Amino acid sequence: MVRIRMRRTGSNKDIAYRVVVADMRSPRDGKCIETLGWYNPKQVGDNYQVKLDRIEYWRSKGAQISERVAAMLKRAQAVTPVAPVAAAPADVVETPAAEATVTA
């Protein structure tokens, strides 16, 4: 499974992140497939840059977006996050099938 998530870079007190596409099983700062952008929480103003066309491409291939990246994209109002799976409506009630009677 492929996931779009953040990869930590920078030194201890000067943290920055890269938005990357990586396998779910790889470590946070491990090997990535593609770098899609960056995020710098200490920068004032526009503190991120993302390749939206590449995010849409990876989403079309089935990549999941992490919660943090989804929040960043929602703030940019660029991509609507994947909606959670809705539960079955409450008014739909399953009725048991008619029981067959056996006469002996």
- Domains of the chain as residue ranges with CATH: 2-76 (3.30.1320.10)
Count CB-CB contacts under 10 A for residue 7: 20
Q: Name the H helices within 1-104.
A: 52-60, 67-76
Give the 3-state secondary structure of residue 20. Answer: strand
Asked if 72 and 55 count as a contact pair (C-beta separation under 8 A), the reply is no
What is the pLDDT tens value at each position of the chain, 104 positions in all? 899 999 999 999 899 999 999 998 888 888 889 999 999 989 888 888 888 889 999 999 999 999 999 988 887 765 444 444 344 454 545 555 555 555 55
pTM for this entry: 0.68
Given the DSSP bridges, would you call strands 48-50 and 2-11 parallel, antiparallel or unpaired?
unpaired
Question: Which pair of tokens denotes residue 85?
Answer: 């799976």
Asked if 92 and 103 count as a contact pair (C-beta separation under 8 A), the reply is no
- Determine the number of helices (DSSP H) and then strands (DSSP E) in the chain: 2, 5
